[in-house]
A and B are shown apart, each in its own frame.
Chain A
Amino acid sequence: MTVVLDPTAGKPAAAIETVPRPTSLDGLTVALLDISKARGDVFLDRVDQRLSDLGIATKRFKKPTFAKPAPVDLRHEIATSCDAVIEALAD
């Protein structure tokens, strides 16, 4: 029998659960997150317009760069001021 040393961190990364998906957007505030990819804003502008037409409140956010994780302050602001988030992932 060979004994080896565990090359992994030994435990899974802390899992972060997403909140349950809302069944309706009525009365909720939806975050629209632009990750700074080219033309993501075009997509979000359209989504913003459609949601506004339905009377749903939106807030716009933008990551400084698509190439790095969103800054913790930005994530915190979205989580505390909105109920759902739509992210424009790519161009």
Chain B
Amino acid sequence: MLQPTSGLLSDTSDGVIAVVKQDCPTCELVVPALEQLAAGLSEVGQSLTVLSQDDPDFPQSITGVLDERGLEFSWHNQIETVPTLLLVKDGKELQRTVGWSREQWEALSGIAELAPDLPEQRPGCGSLSVDPNLSDELTVRFSGSTLHSRRIEIAVLEDEMEAGFDRGWSDGLPVVPPTEARVLRMLQGTTRDAQDIVAIVPPDLVEATVEQIAVNAVLAGCKPEYFPVVLAAVEAACSQTFNMHGLLATTYFSGPVIVVNGPIAERIGMNGANNAFGQGNRANMTIGRALQLVIRNLGGGRPGDARRSGIDMAVLGNPGKLSFCFAEREHDSPFTPLSVARGMDPGVDALTLFAGQGPTPVADQISRTPESLARSMAAVLRTVAHPKLVIAFDAMLVVTPEHGRIFTEAGWDRARLLQELEQLLLLDGDDLIRGANGIAEGLPESVAGTQMPKFRPGGLHILHAGGNAGLFSAIIGGWVSGPMGSELVTIEIKP
């Protein structure tokens, strides 16, 4: 039996190539046509080369069948169906036909009246080279060398799950070993070139390629379809205006909070409904985690603890620093989507990144008018960071469906609610100054006798998420706001 020398067409002889497998009724069916082709082509000085993907003794009646069990030829020549017939001259494919069609086989081969006993046509079967169980391994085998990352061998006696912890790649939870197959599969989630530089990642200011981010997305447990969201998150986090370096290093609680808008959220199965901030949804949990692992592993931004110092100096941090990522509930929102309020077109996939802490509840089960509910929200919003501190901290107000309905029924949109909240959150300077109400914390004496807004203009962001039931909304308090700290960043999620 002959062996195929490579996957290259140029290594095959001119003539007709047939790729078949024994486990395919159509391939079995066309054996008489293949026999006829072999005879007919040799008469005119050409040849038929048959490659068998599973059984090198199939078809038995054809001599010199090539063993294609390695699937190299099929992979390199994008064979998706068996039988596939190729017409090759000077190492170049001139023509191709898939499945059985007498008319097409005759046209391709130039041999007339092929297998008159067969039906006119019959669809083929799937090529083994595109079998989902094999395709990842084949991709590694035949294209793995395209990846630039350093290879690390995990010894046979080493537990590969422990290896991630031992090498310092983990945020404290197990990480998925980033094998070449998994990374290549992750890269299939984007159209971007693996070596494109996505961002300069702080704190070490390392150029991060699509490939390096894919390795960390694998660690985090992402599926390939999440990868465009991860890339957008990294790009947004590393922008000057978001200031990931400062957010990472702060003693405050905050970390990156990701909000996803647009059809991609539903397409990849993100959660914007019940328990949107909580556990249980793979996309929500792993996208934010991937961003944090990029900051840790590529940027060098490792947190400290009681035993070692690190760049993350958070006094307490918050559990959302593992992943705080959710979709906006757009379909029944009283408001335009957050991304649209931020200038994106409706229906565009977009990611908004906020420097935020954990959620604070606004529990109001009694209010049935927007005025009363807005007062409840304002009362809690006033406490962001500290009831006597203003302007320095932005906030997100996440309105849930049962609260949202009260605004919808009253015809209140985002602008109307913001207007109301701004009025309610104009605070008397006398209550804010240091020492007022017996509290040393506060603003300088100079604000006495004035009115101060709780939030800077544009510092309060309103959106809609949550489950159907529960008269509780949420506030996500921010970090140092604006040019002095972090600005909300919204960018398009590109494929």
Contacts and interface: CB of A to CB of B under 8 A. Distances in A.
Interface string B125-165: 00000000000000000000001011111111000100100
B243 A68 contact: yes
Contacts of B163: 4
A5 B147 contact: yes
Given A7-B219, A7-B297, A2 B154 contact: yes
Contacts of B118: none
Contacts of B479: 67
B153 A68 contact: no
A17 B160 CA distance: 36
- Contact-size category for B: 35 or more
Contact of B150 (A1, A10, A64): A10
Interface of B is mostly: mixed
A7 B480 contact: no
B188 interface: no
B246 A2 contact: no
A91 B414 CA distance: 37
A9 interface: yes
Contacts of A13: 203-206, 300
Contacts of A4: 151-152, 154, 160, 163, 177-179
Given A1-B156, A7-B178, A9-B206, A65 B151 contact: no
A13 B206 CA distance: 8
A20 interface: no
Contacts of A6: 149-152, 215
Chain A interface size, as a band, is: 10 to 19
A25 B180 CA distance: 56
Contacts of A90: 251
A22 interface: no
A5 B150 contact: yes
B243 A7 contact: no
A7 B206 contact: no
Contacts of B178: 4-5, 7
B245 A5 contact: no
Contact of A7 (B151, B169, B203, B483): B169
B485 interface: yes
A8 B480 contact: no
A90 B243 CA distance: 19
Contact of B180 (A3, A9, A12): A3
A64 B484 contact: yes
A56 B150 CA distance: 52
Contact of A8 (B154, B169, B245, B486): B169
Given A2-B154, A5-B147, A9-B206, A65 B177 contact: no
A69 interface: yes
B183 interface: yes
B237 to A, nearest CB: 14
Contact of B245 (A7, A12, A68): A68
Contacts of B150: 5-6, 10
B250 interface: yes
B386 to A, nearest CB: 13
Contacts of B298: 7-9
Contacts of B243: 67-68
B169 A1 contact: no
B293 interface: yes
B52 interface: no
Contacts of A7: 169, 178, 212, 215-216, 219, 293, 297-298
B180 A5 contact: yes
Of A3, A5, A68, the most chain B CB neighbours within 10 A belong to A5
Contacts of B206: 9, 13
27 contacts: A2-B154, A2-B179, A3-B151, A3-B152, A4-B160, A5-B149, A5-B150, A5-B151, A5-B178, A5-B179, A5-B215, A6-B152, A7-B216, A9-B212, A9-B298, A9-B299, A9-B300, A13-B204, A13-B205, A13-B300, A65-B246, A65-B480, A67-B250, A67-B479, A68-B484, A68-B485, A69-B246
The 4 closest A-B pairs by CB, nearest first: A13-B204, A5-B149, A67-B246, A6-B150
Given A5-B183, A7-B298, A67-B484, 20 more contacts: A1-B154, A2-B153, A3-B154, A3-B179, A5-B147, A5-B149, A5-B151, A5-B152, A6-B149, A6-B151, A6-B215, A7-B178, A8-B169, A9-B206, A9-B212, A65-B485, A67-B246, A67-B480, A68-B243, A69-B246
